[in-house]
Chain A
Amino acid sequence: MRRFLKTNMAIALLMTAASAQAEDVEVLHWWTSGGEAAALNVLKEDLESQGIGWTDMPVAGGGGEQAMTVLRARVTAGNAPTAVQGLGFDIVDWAKQGALANLNEVAAKEGWDKVVPEALQKFAKVDGRWVSAPVNVHSTNWVWANKIVLDENNIEVPTTWEEFTAAMDTLKAAGITPIAHGGQPWQEATVFDGVSMSVLGPDKYKAAFIDLDESVLGGPEMKEAFDRMAVIRANVDDNFSGRDWNLATAMVINGEAGFQMMGDWAKGEFLNADKVPGEDFVCIRFPGTSEQVIFNADQFMMFDQGGAVSKEQSALASAILSPSFQSAFNVVKGSVPARTDVSDEAFDKCGKKGIADLAAAAETGNLFGSTAHGHANPAGVKNAIYDVVTAHFNGEYDSETAVMELVDAVSIAK
């Protein structure tokens, strides 16, 4: 017992010693799965080579929701971490609270304004101040298809909604589940991103979900969007409810299902199963949205540590935006770099397509924030939309009621 106590005390002493070191960055994040964490380790080692320690503070759960709760407690206690993984409007909200540091100096030195797409800058640069460092750009209007299943059933890659429904019918007749889907609100909303874009088109998508224009939210196209959701609902298996997204991806990998609508993080599942893009599976844009990219981006917000940006924070920010890290990390993560000047050499076929799509969309004004992932509207509205989409998908509302409820829910949450 005594020895046990002694060891305990030694450990406690070691820990205080470690935390007393001045040059540490404490990083709150939710990337705890093998690949992501390993990629983040690259960043850690980079910093350590500059003599900056990394104190890891991982809190997983709910796509970052748990971490955001923790963040709130930490900020309230006056004990904010140095850097925090953040998404879309959460970053803007924190910046508006005056909690974030000003990274303009390092941004100017490294020319971020020129290389980061403008649509993304809206979430990294608030009121003229860079407050966070973007790590990647994900996109949600992807469809993942099992190529062998498509070939066996003589299905061409669908490019319109009509071709897509025809493909679903063919698969159903062949006894294959047309769509692999996991019944969780965020997954249904992710599908809704692509579906609503395909019906509304870019202008009305912006009017409805970014400007929250009630006439479009309650308009006839929105009903059509919900009708399409109902078609998709009719093409999933009976057992979809509550399924994790990666299990749905596994259904496509195993050939039990034909398609899955999911963000580009799904690619990692295919690669882990030794599937080759273009041969075993294909990545296509949701039919009718081939020119648009609906994005969400992970960033690291830098929290104000008493006035100035610390040396460690600018070192971290600069390391995050370095082309080598952007490439290394995003190859693993399935996303594409947050700066447009990174070589696509290390990426696979889908990654290359993602990079090209992003550049083209940014060029033509077709890059829009994802409703499902908090890049179109603030958390309250986002979740209000989840409520309606998921209630409709699960048969609680018909399309007409859903449209009415959508207008109502958004107005309460605004």
Chain B
Amino acid sequence: MSNADFKTRLQNWLPKLVLSPSLLLMLVFVYGFIAFSVYLSFTDSRLLPSFGLVGWENYSKLWRLSHWKISLTNMGIFAFLYIGICTFIGLGLAIFLDQKIRAEGMLRTIYLYPMALSFIVTGTAWKWFLDPGIGLENVLQSWGWSSFEFDWIKDRNYAIYTVVLAAVWQTSGFVMAMFLAGLRGIDNEILKAAQMDGASNWNLYRRIIIPQLRPAFLSAFVILSHLAIKTFDLVIALTGGGPGRATELPATFMYSYTFSRNQMGIGAASATIMLMTIAAIMVPYLYAELREKK
């Protein structure tokens, strides 16, 4: 083999060679571990992994637990509201910020900064703020609005909405940044042409601008749904899953069964179901996304 020949071959292989460490890491640390976790869900693992197979027992136990059903229902409510509200606020703020606002840079930083904070302690700040005894209710009442009531965090029918509120606070600014970026990328000439034709601002947004933001919507959806599924610290810091079990989510359920309750088998079963749900939502989306582009 001549030297030049070797060089061309190397050039052909180089891209794959460069990609392979990452791919290998993914296969082992993500897909290998997923397989391991699925396997565990069929075993009698408790404190540590053990390998006695028990069939579907963990799954049947899982579905008998009211705890699990509560966390699934909560996930539905939480994900729907969280994704919806973040998208709405993010888009709204982005459109408003795009109107040649003075001090835009400062406002943008203010909207974005919550992403930088960890919930280990902002959770405490929120907890106080929402607490009727010392927070908003108390403050407004002491300012003379004596009929004001805001005790959602203490009410098991409403507590999940306070989790939504704090989660929206954390990420809606980030979504705003994504939409703002999308808006800044839109060609002004089209808008000017439409304005010539007498289109109102409302129609400009509805007909021309928002449809062009489709990629931003999709990215926002991916980021938000990933955050929604992983929501964990927030619940632990804000409500600890309470009042009662009113704000349990699948992630807290799984952690609790795997690590606090020494029922690793059931924890693994819940993880498997979570992963399947994620796959059911994401795979069609990924498929469509990747096929569309050349």
A binding-site residues for B, Cβ under 8 Å: 62, 65, 68-69, 72, 75-76, 93-94, 97, 183-185, 238-242, 378-380, 382-384, 387, 390-391, 393-396, 405, 408, 412-413
B260 touches A62 (CB 8 A): yes
If A65-B259, A378-B262, A395-B244 are given as contacts, then 7 extra A-B residue pairs at C-beta distance below 8 Å, sorted by A number, are A69-B259, A242-B153, A242-B154, A387-B245, A393-B244, A394-B244, A408-B64
- A-B contacts, 16 of them at CB < 8 A, read A68-B260, A75-B48, A93-B47, A183-B154, A238-B151, A239-B133, A239-B154, A242-B131, A379-B262, A380-B261, A380-B263, A383-B260, A391-B245, A396-B156, A412-B61, A413-B261
* CA gap between A66 and B256 in the complex, in Å: 11
Closest A residue to B137 using CB positions? A239
Q: Report B103-117 residues with CB < 8 Å from chain A CB.
A: none
Query: In the docked arrangement, what's the CA distance between A240 and B261, Å?
Result: 26
A65 with B260, Cβ < 8 A, contacts A396-B244, A412-B64 known: yes
Interface pairs A-B: 10 shortest CB-CB? A394-B244, A241-B243, A241-B154, A239-B133, A69-B259, A379-B262, A383-B261, A380-B261, A65-B260, A380-B263
Looking at B133, B151, B259, the one whose CB has the most chain A CB atoms below 10 A away is: B259
- From residue 48 to 93 of chain B, which have CB atoms closer than 8 A to chain A? 48, 61, 64-67
B240 is an interface residue with CB less than 8 A from chain A: yes
Within 8 Å by CB of A379, from B242, B244, B260, lies B260
CB contacts (< 8 Å) of A72 on chain B: these are 47-48, 259
The answer on a CB contact under 8 Å between B46 and A241 is no
- Chain B residue nearest in CB terms to A76: B48
> What secondary structure prevails in chain B residues at the interface with A?
loop
Q: A69-B259, A412-B61, A412-B65 are in contact. Are A390 and B244 (CB under 8 A)?
A: yes
Residue of A nearest to B50 (CB): A97
Q: How many pairs of A and B residues are in contact by the CB < 8 Å rule?
A: 84
**Chain B residue at smallest Cβ distance from A62:** B260
CA distance A94 to B243 in the complex (A): 32
Q: What per-residue 1/0 map shows which CB atoms of B272-285 lie under 8 Å from chain A?
A: 00000000000000
Q: Is the CB of B48 within 8 A of A68?
A: no
B233-250 residues at the A interface, CB under 8 angstroms: 239-246
Chain B residues with a Cβ under 8 A of chain A: 46-48, 61, 64-67, 127, 131-133, 151, 153-154, 156, 239-246, 256, 259-263
| A394: nearest chain-B partner, CB-CB | B244
CA separation between A94 and B64, bound complex, in Å? 28
> Could you say which residues of chain A place their CB within 8 Å of the CB of B243?
183, 241-242, 394
Query: In the bound complex, how far is the Cα of B263 from the Cα of A378, in angstroms?
Result: 10
Residues of A within 8 A of B262 (CB): 93, 378-380
| Selected contact of B47 from candidates A97, A184, A405, CB within 8 Å | A97
Chain A: minimal CB distance from B57 (Å):
11
Q: How far is the CA of A390 from the CA of B156 in the complex (A)?
A: 12
B47 contacts A239, C-beta separation under 8 Å: no
B141 CB, min distance to chain A CBs, angstroms: 13
Name the distance in Å between A276's Cβ and chain B's nearest Cβ.
28
In the bound complex, what is the Cα–Cα distance between A382 and B256 (angstroms)?
Answer: 12
Alpha-carbon distance A241/B153, docked complex (angstroms): 8
A304 to chain B, nearest CB (A): 14
Chain B residue contacts of A75, Cβ below 8 A = 48
**CB-CB < 8 A to A239: which residues of B?**
131-133, 151, 154
Cα of A65 to Cα of B258 in the assembled complex, Å: 11
Of the listed residues A76, A240, A395, A413, the one surrounded by the most CB atoms of chain B closer than 10 A to its CB is A413
Complex: chain A residue closest to B241, CB-CB: A185
Instruction: State in angstroms the CA–CA spacing of A241 and B260 once bound together.
Output: 22
Residues A394 and B259 in contact, CB atoms below 8 Å apart: no
A408 to B48, CA, bound (A): 25
B242 engages A394 (CB within 8 Å): yes
Residues of A contacting B259 in the complex (Cβ-Cβ under 8 angstroms): 65, 68-69, 72
**How far, in whole Å, are A76 and B153 apart by their CA atoms in the complex?**
38
Establish whether residues A241 and B242, one from each chain, have CB atoms under 8 Å apart when the complex forms. yes
Residues of A contacting B47 with CB < 8 Å?
A: 72, 93-94, 97
Taken together as a complex, chains A and B put the C-alpha atoms of A79 and B64 apart, in Å, by 37
Smallest CB separation, A414 vs chain B (Å): 10
> Which of B46, B47, B66, B156 has the most chain A CB atoms closer than 10 A to its own CB?
B47
- Contact pick for B156, options A62, A379, A395, A413, CB 8 Å: A395
Instruction: Give the complex CA separation of A241 and B132 in angstroms.
Output: 11
Contact between B242 and A390 (Cβ–Cβ < 8 Å)?
A: yes
Partner of A184 from the list B153, B242, B260 (CB cut-off 8 Å) is B242
Most central of B61, B154, B261, B263 by chain A CB within 10 Å: B261
CA distance A378 to B260 in the complex (A): 10
Which of A241, A379, A394, A405 sits near B261, CB closer than 8 Å?
A379
How far, in Å, is A371 (CB) from chain B's closest CB?
14
- The answer to whether A413 and B154 have CB atoms under 8 Å apart is no
Q: In the complex, A248→B120 CA distance in Å?
A: 22
**Once bound together, how far apart are the Cα atoms of A344 and B48, in whole Å?**
41
Chain A residues within 8 Å of B260, by CB: 62, 65, 68, 379, 383
Contact of A380 with B127 in the complex, beta carbons under 8 Å: no
Give the shortest distance, in Å, between A368 (CB) and chain B (any CB). Answer: 22
Q: Give bound CA distance, A307 to B61, whole Å.
A: 38
Q: With A and B bound together, what is the CA distance between A75 and B261 in angstroms?
A: 17
Q: Which A residues touch B151, using CB under 8 A?
A: 238-239
- Give the docked Cα–Cα distance between A405 and B153 (Å): 25
Q: How far is the CA of A235 from the CA of B256 in the complex (A)?
A: 30
Q: Which of B131, B133, B246, B260 has the most CB of A within 10 A?
A: B260
Q: Point out the residues of chain B lying under 8 angstroms from A405, CB to CB.
A: 66
- Chain A residues with CB under 8 Å of B239's CB are 242
Report A70 CB to chain B, min CB distance, Å. 10
CA distance A93 to B264 in the complex (A): 14
Tell me the complex Cα distance, A241–B64, Å: 27
Cα–Cα distance between A147 and B62 once the two chains are bound (Å) = 48
Known contacts A93-B47, A390-B244, A396-B156: does B256 contact A383 (CB below 8 Å)?
yes
Task: Identify A394's interface contact among B67, B131, B246, CB under 8 A.
Answer: B246
B residues near A384, Cβ cutoff 8 Å: 261
The residue of chain A having its C-beta at the shortest distance from the C-beta of B239 within the complex is A242
Of all chain B residues, which has the CB nearest A237?
Answer: B133
Taking a contact as CB atoms under 8 Å apart, the answer to whether B154 and A238 are in contact is: yes
Residues of B close to A238: CB separation below 8 A: 132, 151, 154
- Which of A72, A76, A393 lies at the interface centre, i.e. has the most chain B CB atoms within 10 A of its CB? A72
In the complex with contacts A69-B259, A76-B48, A185-B242, A394-B156 CB distance below 8 A? yes
